């Protein structure tokens, strides 16, 4: 691999780690140990999930939208993390303030997501978590159902895996 490409990859990974630390585990909103709000009830893909049913293992809830370019950057990493969890934790996607159910489903299909995805069309659930207009926004929930970390912006497989590992996932 050429040296310039190795340096570029290293810089991108380092930037992701810095973003994770600055905007993720070090951030206050969402990582304060308060009980996680209930997930939306409308299912887009995969099985129906509730936090009550997932209690006992960590959960990563990722809010995204089909119109969000940063969400496209993160999409492949989410699927890779989901496939690598092997039951240690659960990844749940939540489509946030997307007016078109069809566009949301098209996004899920285009990235071949296999993890459960729910729909929050009016943004009510997302606002309870602390989502603003900054997407993607992910929330790490521990096995007791408490919010432990907030990750803002597109994440990498490494930062997502590290965030889940911080709560035993």
For 71, the token pair is 């969400």
Q: How far is CA 164 from CA 67, 147, 160, in A?
A: 26, 12, 6
Centre a 10 Å sphere on the Cβ of residue 80 and count the other Cβ atoms it contains. Answer: 13
**Would you say 117 and 93 are in contact if contact means Cβ atoms under 8 Å apart?**
yes
Tens digit of each residue's pLDDT (9 = 90 or more) over 27-72 = 434 567 999 999 999 999 999 999 999 999 999 999 999 999 999 9
Tens digit of each residue's pLDDT (9 = 90 or more) over 18-37 = 344 334 443 434 567 999 99
Domain-wise residue ranges, the chain: 3-165
pTM above 0.85, yes or no: no
Q: Looking at domain 3-165, what is its CATH homologous superfamily?
A: Glutaredoxin (3.40.30.10)
Tens digit of each residue's pLDDT (9 = 90 or more) over 98-147 = 989 999 999 999 999 999 999 999 999 999 999 988 999 999 999 999 99
Residue 9's pLDDT band, with cuts at 50, 70 and 90, is: very low
**Would you say 149 and 24 are in contact if contact means Cβ atoms under 8 Å apart?**
yes
Cα 156 to Cα 169: distance, rounded to the nearest angstrom: 16
Sheet containing 137-141: order of strands: 42-45, 117-120, 90-96, 59-64, 137-141, 147-152
Q: Is the pLDDT of residue 82 over 80?
A: yes
């Amino acid at each position: 691999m050429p040296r310039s490409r190795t340096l570029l990859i290293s810089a991108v990974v380092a930037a992701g780690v810095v973003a994770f630390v600055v905007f993720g585990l070090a951030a206050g909103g969402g990582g304060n140990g308060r009980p996680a709000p209930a997930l939306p009830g409308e299912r887009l893909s995969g099985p129906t999930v509730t936090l009550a049913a997932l209690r006992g293992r960590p959960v990563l809830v990722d809010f995204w939208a089909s119109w969000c370019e940063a969400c496209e950057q993160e999409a492949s990493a989410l699927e890779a993390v989901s496939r690598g969890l092997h039951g240690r934790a659960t990844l749940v996607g939540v489509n946030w303030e997307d007016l078109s159910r069809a566009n949301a489903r098209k996004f899920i299909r285009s990235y071949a997501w296999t993890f459960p995805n729910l729909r929050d069309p009016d943004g009510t659930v997302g606002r309870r978590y602390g989502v603003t207009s900054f997407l993607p926004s992910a929330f790490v929930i521990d096995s007791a159902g408490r919010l432990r970390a907030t990750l803002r912006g597109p994440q990498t497989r490494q930062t997502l895996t590290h965030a889940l590992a911080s709560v035993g996932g």
